[in-house]
Amino acid sequence: EDAIGWSKLQLSDTYDDSDHEYYRPQYHFAPKFGWMNDPNGLFYLDGLYHLYYQYNPFASTWGNMSWGHATTKDFVHFDHHPVALLPDELGAIFSGSIVVDKENTAGFGKNAVIAFYTNANKEDFTEQSNSMAISTDGGYTFKKYEHNPVVTFDCPDFRDPTLIRYKNQWNLFIATKQWIRIYSSQNLKEWKFESEFGHGIGNHEGVWECPTVFEVDGRWVMLLNINPGGVFGGSATQYFIGDFDGHEFKCEFPPRVVKWMDFGKDAYATVAFHNPPQLTAIAWMSNWEYGKQVPSTQFRSAFSIPRTFKIVENPTTHERDLYSIPLPSFEQCFSKAVDKITPSCLVEIELTGVTAKQVNITLKNEHEHVDMEINRCHEGRFYFTRGCQSGIHDFGTTFCATTWAPYHNKDHYLIKLFIDKHSVEAAISGGRKSFF
Ligand code: FRU
């Protein structure tokens, strides 16, 4: 009764979203208040990127899943908007995607913005169905479709619908346990089951979540998020390259070949934008191994920087690989000539004429450091160590880790470090392009 806290306790009908958290990123997207996980419904229209996200508007822990909403022109400055979708009688609002119905195929009007998301019901969220919501004001407010749910299937994991326009039809990809169910439609309302993808293909050590499908360099790519079972533990994004004909996705890799998009621990639920000027995807910069415990309180978690992709033939295996590249329009927002490393900047390290077997790079301030190593022995590797001196780390036993990717490029190396208050993302190029 005499605790000091009681005398300071006040009722409020708003949350404190003032900027006072030490680990608040300066240019990565993070909610002002509350919990965030996957990016949802990413689309581009009239010069603006719209980002929605798995959001708890009431606390910085997972729960009350809704879609938060923000817009940006450059991925550096963001406008925060009111919550776009709140839970309803069919359940919480899990992940999904958005398309702009340019030709009014669904009858909600030309350029209606249509969201597909998962309703997750019951205490353990195992009753999952897929629903639709429509916005006729460019994505700021949505009305739920009166005949929801639209796509159902008797399975406790049936979620994260991703929509694409393929020729003159729509296709829907829905993660179903450890496979993807593919549907087609003319009007977004009636759906026909086409095929299942993923049996005996890729990594199956966890649940498949948040598929995203796009075309790049004349091939079709599916990014597929898996948790657990990621390359360095917990959650990660794998990818498949192949062909899609509106009915079936055919992967060109031999069965069981597993390809990872990134070689760090914190890029999950990577999904692509609908209708972007240049192919663009972003990820939740966290991992379900410790995402709920990271040491912030007002908000929890941020998105990765935006990236684009290209396909390159691997000279050793002759298989096609997917390279991730920082989105050029975003990279241009940074000054190239840094004479001082600040808490949020881009540092480029270019090494030429390298003959040493090993090159070590340490990034440090008074309290913290992370270490990188280019190891040129044999095939070559790039190591990134987030050790026990990288800042607060005692909230999760797997947060400290050394991860690595194949990296050999004779004697020339280029490393880009995107540094922000709470994170370091490394993009290495020249050899296999990778992110950490
Ligand atoms: C992936 C995920 C999705 C689900 C959402 C719930 O991180 O588990 O499969 O829709 O998060 O917040």
- The helix (run of H) or strand (run of E) holding residue 225 is strand 219-227
Q: DSSP 3-state assignment of 266? A: coil
DSSP code per residue over 30-70 = --SSEEEEEEEEEEEETTEEEEEEEEETT-SSS-S-EEEEE
Ligand 1: which of 116, 127, 157, 160 to mutate, judged by most atoms within 8 Å of the beta carbon?
A: 160
Percent of the residues in the chain that have a pLDDT greater than 90, as a whole number: 87
The mean per-residue pLDDT over the stretch 376-389 comes to 94
Does residue 38's CB lie within 6 angstroms of at least one atom of ligand 1? yes
214 forms bridges with which residues in the sheet? 221
Does residue 194's CB lie within 6 angstroms of at least one atom of ligand 1? no
Q: Does position 402 have pLDDT exceeding 80, yes or no?
A: yes
Which tens digit of pLDDT belongs to each residue from 77-105? 999 999 999 999 999 999 999 999 999 99
3-state DSSP of 178-195: CEEEEEEECCCCCCEEEE
Residue with tokens 């990778």: 434
Give yes or no: 38 in active site: yes
The model's pTM:
0.96
Q: Considering only CA atoms, which residue is closest to atom 9 of ligand 1?
A: 209
Which tens digit of pLDDT belongs to each residue from 282-298? 999 999 999 999 999 99
The mean per-residue pLDDT over the stretch 429-435 comes to 67
Average pLDDT, the chain: 95
So what's the pLDDT on residue 3?
82
The mean per-residue pLDDT over the stretch 9-16 comes to 86
Does residue 157's CB lie within 6 angstroms of at least one atom of ligand 1? no
Residues with Cβ within 8 Å of residue 340, at least 6 apart in sequence: none
Percent of the residues in the chain that have a pLDDT greater than 70, as a whole number: 99
Exposed e or buried b for every residue in 203-221, given b needs 16+ CB within 10 A?
bbebbbbbbbbbebeeebb
CA 380 to each of CA 200, 336, 405, 408, 417: distance values in angstroms, whole numbers, following the listed order: 30, 27, 9, 5, 20
**Ligand 1 atom closest to 118 (CA):** 10
**Ligand 1 atom closest to 284 (CA):** 7
Q: Does position 368 have pLDDT exceeding 90, yes or no?
A: yes
Which tens digit of pLDDT belongs to each residue from 321-362? 999 999 999 999 998 777 788 989 999 999 999 999 999 999
For residues 24 and 32, what is the distance between their CA atoms, to the nearest angstrom? 9
DSSP code per residue over 145-175 = -TT---B--S-S-EEEEEEEEETTEEEEEEE
Q: Does position 153 have pLDDT exceeding 60, yes or no?
A: yes
Q: Does position 431 have pLDDT exceeding 60, yes or no?
A: no
Q: Does position 33 have pLDDT exceeding 80, yes or no?
A: yes
Main-chain phi, psi angles of 395, to 5 degrees: -85, -10
- The helix (run of H) or strand (run of E) holding residue 4 is helix 4-8
Q: 430 falls in which pLDDT band (50, 70, 90)?
A: low
For residues 175 and 196, what is the distance between their CA atoms, to the nearest angstrom? 10
Q: 432 falls in which pLDDT band (50, 70, 90)?
A: low
Ligand 1: which of 36, 93, 95 to mutate, judged by most atoms within 8 Å of the beta carbon?
A: 95
Does residue 130's CB lie within 6 angstroms of at least one atom of ligand 1? no
Q: Exposed/middle/buried for 226, CB within 10 Å: 0-12, 13-18, 19+?
A: buried
Which tens digit of pLDDT belongs to each residue from 44-64? 999 999 999 999 999 999 999
Reported as half-sphere exposure (CB side, CA atoms, 13 A), residue 420 has a value of 20
Q: 381 falls in which pLDDT band (50, 70, 90)?
A: very high
So what's the pLDDT on residue 425?
95
Helix residue ranges, H only, 227-355: 328-331
